[in-house]
Each structure stands twice: as structure tokens, then as C-alpha cells.
Amino acid sequence: MNYDVIVVGAGPGGIFTAYELAHAGRGLKIAVLELGKPLDKRRCPIDGKKIKSCIRCQTCSIMSGFGGAGAFSDGKYNITNQFGGTLYEHIGKTEAIELMKYVDSINLSHGGEGTKLYTTANTAIKRVCLENGLHLLDAQVRHLGTDINYVVLENLYNELKDQVEFHFETAVTGIRRIDGGYEVDTAKERFTCRRCVISVGRSGSKWMESVCDSLGIPTMSNRVDIGVRVEIPAEIFAHLTDELYESKIIYRTQKFEDMVRTFCMNPHGVVVNENTNGIVTVNGHSYEDPSKHTENTNFALLVSKHFSDPFKDSNGYGESIARLSNMLGGGVIVQRFGDLVRGRRSTEARIRESFVTPTLAATPGDLSLVIPKRILDGIIEMIYALDKIAPGTANDDTLLYGVEVKFYNMEVEINENLETCCPGLFVIGDCSGVTHSLSHASASGVFAARRILEEI
């Protein structure tokens, strides 16, 4: 065998697998194969001047490369079992939280010291939410910020590069079982290993599916979350974000009893494009450095849809809606809330005259032509509900960007060791369908590494 362990994908899941294996001091031969570039070579061509929107690069530098989808993220590490994934269903609630805390300690010792840990414990905001039919979920949130998150990744890479072989711009094309391990194919060469950990994230979802097909690993369809990104003046949410930074709030709509939730809150942040398999959707992040703060706060409002029978392709449904917005807007569409509720499209002039300045150059349009009525009705109802705890949320000038889609990988059947029915083949992080966040994906990497260390 070339290697004791091959890790496919250098996102948080892959990095923390490699970190834990390398730090065991067992002299294991470890390789990380990553489709994207090293951290310092990752550049999104959008400069806001010559290139204003996504040009659909063959390999998206936002999603791929050392650091994975998390590299330019807001670096919010949520320590909770209430959202961010269902890792606890496999490894237990206590161990899941312990591992998330362990990951937090590594981030702190690699450049994250001094960043703030927010908590929902004992907050009066919970009661105010309940009085208005809103439910605040419990969590501790470490906010590294995009800038410190980058420093942490840089430090982790510098420490790991002498103990782990990193192969960048190396897409794995196939995995085959062989006697005592696995054969891992790339366009350039073939590697072999005793244990293989796959952590290819959401961007690797289609490839993951093909691996499961070829190795006979059972999968289950997962949900898709569809919605918009809301952008408001930061003052409107300041009483929530100053205390909690990120508040995960759930609302059950009166009309359809659907659940709508807030997701990925970025105080003083920016709204950005996200490219998943050529489909442009919207996301957001913010910096820890006050000099990079904007005047706006953004967050997503999402509704989950899960299809099972006869139609099973939840992601395909989300993709179709995102494609429709790309067709009408050439990318992401932006609309004023006032225009949406009056049933008219937003125009360049209306956006220009708005009191909220957009942080993303999106195409003014009409989201009601893209988002299914039931989902849009739920989002509008939630905006009015949020207006009760944060007056101003339902102002005419509130900006809605669409569509935001959270694709979840189909759930790969893995056991309590995060191992598939193929012995020695582990599937972790977001590509397993089990995690959907930096903290859960990283924790799953540490967990898989520890199981491997026990076995080898």
C-alpha cells in the first residue's frame, strides 16, 4: 500500500481527520487528495469591476481547495446538537459536543484565540421570541470571522504539510476495493491505502453518489432547504446579534403550518454568490475585523422540503428553482420586500432609491416568479413575525436575495463508527448527509481518525 490512510477532500472534515491522525505520533503515512487549490492560490475572479458576477469557473475557488467550502466562510463554529447536523445520532450527544469543543480548542490554539464565544444560555431574548410565536434554539457560537478563519487554516496547513502529503488539483475519479484496502484513482495516478476517508462536502455530492453506486453502499434521499437571504440595516437586529451573534429562530406558519427558520446570520456582513455544480445561489459572511464591517446584517430564511415517493430527488427540485432564478436574473435576483408584497418587480431605479444599499450586485427582479407560492408565503409570514421582535424587519426597503438553496447530500448509510458497509471506508462531513456545518464536519473528522487509530 502507498499509504496507511488516504483522505479525499481538504475541507474541515478532511483537515481534522488528517490533524488527528498526524498528531497521534504513530508515524502513519497519510495523503490528502484535493480537487481544488492550496489556500493561498484560491481566488474567486469576481472583483466587482471587470467581473461582477459568477463566471462559473471549472473549479470554484469559493467551494474547493484547502479549507473546503468553509475557507472564506464566516467561520461560525456552533457548539450544539440542535442544528448543524445529526452527528449525535451516530456517536451520541455527549461525544459530539466534546468533539466540537476539542475542535474549538484547536482553532483557538492556531490563531483563533481572542475571538468571542457567544451563548444563548440565560438570554431574555428567548422569552421575547416565545411571546411572538418564535423559537430560539440553544447554542454556543464561536465567531472566528472570515479573516481569522483564514489565519487558522493557514496555521493548520503550515503545521500539517510536513506530516501529511497534500496533493492539490487532484480530483479523485474512482475508488475500488482491493485486498486489504482501497485503490484510489485520479486523472494523474493511482494510489492505494489501508483505510480511506471520504470528505468531499456538498460540492462532491454527485461524485459521492457514483461511489456509493459502484461500491453498493446504500443511500437515502435527504431534504433541501429553499428560501431567500434577507439584508437589513444592522441596527434592526443589533439587540440580537450583539448578545448572541447568530440566533437560530424557528417559526411555524399559521397558513400552512410549515417551519421557516433563520440561518447563517452575518452582522455587518456581506451577501455573496455561491456556485454549486454550475448553479449560482446566494450566501453570506462577515469579517471579525471592524474595518471590514458593512452597515448591513444578512441572514437566510429557509423552508425545508423532503421528497420521498415517487419523486425522491429533493436536490433536483432545489436545483430547478435555482436554475429558474439563474435563467431570469442571469444569477442571483434581488427584490425589495415592499415590491414583493405589492406584486411588482424591483428595478435598478427602485434599488438605487432604497435606503438599504445592497452588498451584492444582483439583478433586480421578481422572486414570486421563481419561488413556489407556499414557500414564499411562509417567508413573508416569518418576516412579519420577526418584525415583532426586531421592528423594521418588514420595512419596504428590506432586501431579499434569491434564491438561497441549501443542498444536502443524500444520506450515506454509515454505522456508529461513521464507516460504510465496506470495511475501512469512512464517509464523513457534509458528503455523508449527516453534517451540515463547520463544527459537525470537523468533529466527524476527529471521530473517524480516532476510530482508525484504534483499528490500525
Ligand X SMILES: Cc1cc2nc3c(=O)[nH]c(=O)nc-3n(C[C@H](O)[C@H](O)[C@H](O)COP(=O)(O)OP(=O)(O)OC[C@H]3O[C@@H](n4cnc5c(N)ncnc54)[C@H](O)[C@@H]3O)c2cc1C
Cis peptide bond upstream of 233, omega within 30: no
Report how far apart, in Å, the C-alpha atoms of 89 and of each of 183, 219, 426, 429 are: 30, 16, 16, 14
3-state class (DSSP) for residue 284: strand
Residue 394 or 399: the one with the smaller Cβ distance to ligand X is 399
Q: Choose among 433, 422, 354, 19: nearest CA to 215.
A: 422
In the complex, minimum distance from the CB of residue 442 to ligand X, in angstroms, rounded to a whole number: 7
In the complex, minimum distance from the CB of residue 351 to ligand X, in angstroms, rounded to a whole number: 23
In the complex, minimum distance from the CB of residue 45 to ligand X, in angstroms, rounded to a whole number: 16
Residue 160 or 385: the one with the smaller Cβ distance to ligand X is 160
Q: Under a CB-based contact definition with an 8 Å cutoff, are residues 170 and 33 in contact?
A: yes
Q: Which triple of cell numbers denotes residue 168?
A: 492539490
Residue 336 or 440: the one with the smaller Cβ distance to ligand X is 440
Q: Which triple of cell numbers denotes residue 105?
A: 480548542
Q: List all residues 6 or more positions away from 288 whose beta carbon is below 8 Å from its beta carbon.
A: 75, 115, 143, 144, 145, 146, 147, 148
Distance CA 376, CA 363 (A): 19
Report how far apart, in Å, the C-alpha atoms of 75 and of each of 30, 141, 145, 352 are: 26, 10, 5, 31
Q: Which triple of cell numbers denotes residue 264?
A: 447563517
Q: Rounded to 5 degrees, what are φ and ψ at 39? A: -55, -45
Q: How far is CA 90 from the centre of its chain?
A: 20
Residue 253 or 420: the one with the smaller Cβ distance to ligand X is 420
DSSP track, 309-355: SS---HHHHHHHHHHHHHHHHSS-EEEEHHHHHTT----HHHHHHSS
| Cβ count near 443 (within 10 Å) | 34
Residue 166 or 337: the one with the smaller Cβ distance to ligand X is 166
In the complex, minimum distance from the CB of residue 453 to ligand X, in angstroms, rounded to a whole number: 19
In the complex, minimum distance from the CB of residue 199 to ligand X, in angstroms, rounded to a whole number: 5
Q: Binding residues for ligand X, per CB under 6 A?
A: 8-14, 33-36, 64-65, 68-70, 73-76, 78, 84, 171-172, 199-204, 207, 264, 272, 274, 283, 285, 429-431, 436-439, 441
Residue 237 or 337: the one with the smaller Cβ distance to ligand X is 237
In the complex, minimum distance from the CB of residue 204 to ligand X, in angstroms, rounded to a whole number: 3
In the complex, minimum distance from the CB of residue 253 to ligand X, in angstroms, rounded to a whole number: 26
- What would you report as the CA-atom Rg of the chain, rounded to the nearest whole angstrom? 21
Distance CA 4, CA 13 (A): 18
In the complex, minimum distance from the CB of residue 375 to ligand X, in angstroms, rounded to a whole number: 21
Report how far apart, in Å, the C-alpha atoms of 364 and of each of 274, 318, 376 are: 18, 21, 17
Residue 199 or 262: the one with the smaller Cβ distance to ligand X is 199
Residue 378 or 433: the one with the smaller Cβ distance to ligand X is 433
In the complex, minimum distance from the CB of residue 236 to ligand X, in angstroms, rounded to a whole number: 21
Distance CA 289, CA 148 (A): 9
Mode of pairing for the β-strands spanning 172-178 and 181-186: antiparallel
In the complex, minimum distance from the CB of residue 15 to ligand X, in angstroms, rounded to a whole number: 7
Residue 11 or 385: the one with the smaller Cβ distance to ligand X is 11
Residue 9 or 424: the one with the smaller Cβ distance to ligand X is 9
Q: Under a CB-based contact definition with an 8 Å cutoff, are residues 79 and 140 in contact?
A: yes
